[in-house]
Chain A
């Protein structure tokens, strides 16, 4: 199998605080992980591509200083929402691609993190 664990599943925080979301590939190594954001009844919007050992590639319009991504190992990527505000409230989902399967780019998704900023 290909299991991706995402933690926490739900977080409520006060405006101005920072929140860290972890994405782990449990039974495979992932050279590439993706971070998505999804608003209600909308599709997934790619925020950034995270490659192990290098800087993340952010999509146009995504503030890299606000959404800090660290991919320190082949099994872990983290997304930190800094100085969160109510408009950052959303469903954040990570996905991971198995090393060696990049050509097929089959993404395995985490369960998602629902962030609510008060």
Chain B
């Protein structure tokens, strides 16, 4: 079983719609969760970090964490063509010294 799993996509949504990206992880003691956006040929940039159960909102982005279900998601409201990218879910273990494991990424395409 892979440590961090995501649907590879591509996920296509029309402009203005809500894009929903999902991620599951296998290590039950994981404590830190991150969503990164990566444009083709570029390095990842951090969008959100979340550490406790529930929702965390930042502008058009909302991260949702459910540790019991080992599930973390990212919602993008009012999707824009500029949101078209690969979204990487990343998970860190129990301690601050645990390495961060990246998922394979979900490719999102926002259609104008």
Of A104, A111, A114, the residue contacting B49 (CB under 8 A) is A104
Total inter-chain residue pairs, C-beta < 8 Å: 48
Q: How far is the CA of A49 from the CA of B92 in the complex (A)?
A: 14
Cβ of A107 < 8 Å from any Cβ of B? yes
Cβ of B45 < 8 Å from any Cβ of A? yes
Q: How far is the CA of A11 from the CA of B84 in the complex (A)?
A: 28
Q: How far is the CA of A39 from the CA of B22 in the complex (A)?
A: 22
Enumerate A72-112 residues with CB–CB distance to B below 8 Å: 93, 102-112
Asked if residues A105 and B96 are in contact (CB atoms below 8 Å), the reply is yes
Asked if residues A102 and B43 are in contact (CB atoms below 8 Å), the reply is no
Interface residues as binary, B93-109 with A (CB distance below 8 Å gives 1, 0 otherwise): 00011111111110000
Asked if residues A106 and B46 are in contact (CB atoms below 8 Å), the reply is yes
Interface residues as binary, A26-57 with B (CB distance below 8 Å gives 1, 0 otherwise): 00000000100000001110100100000000
Asked if residues B43 and A104 are in contact (CB atoms below 8 Å), the reply is no
Asked if residues B46 and A108 are in contact (CB atoms below 8 Å), the reply is yes
Asked if residues A111 and B43 are in contact (CB atoms below 8 Å), the reply is yes
Q: How far is the CA of A102 from the CA of B95 in the complex (A)?
A: 10
Hey, which chain B residues are within 8 Å of A6, CB to CB?
43
Q: How far is the CA of A103 from the CA of B104 in the complex (A)?
A: 24
Asked if residues B99 and A42 are in contact (CB atoms below 8 Å), the reply is no
Of B44, B96, B101, B104, the residue contacting A102 (CB under 8 A) is B96
A-B contact pairs, 7 of them (CB 8 A): A44-B44, A46-B99, A103-B96, A104-B51, A105-B96, A111-B43, A114-B41
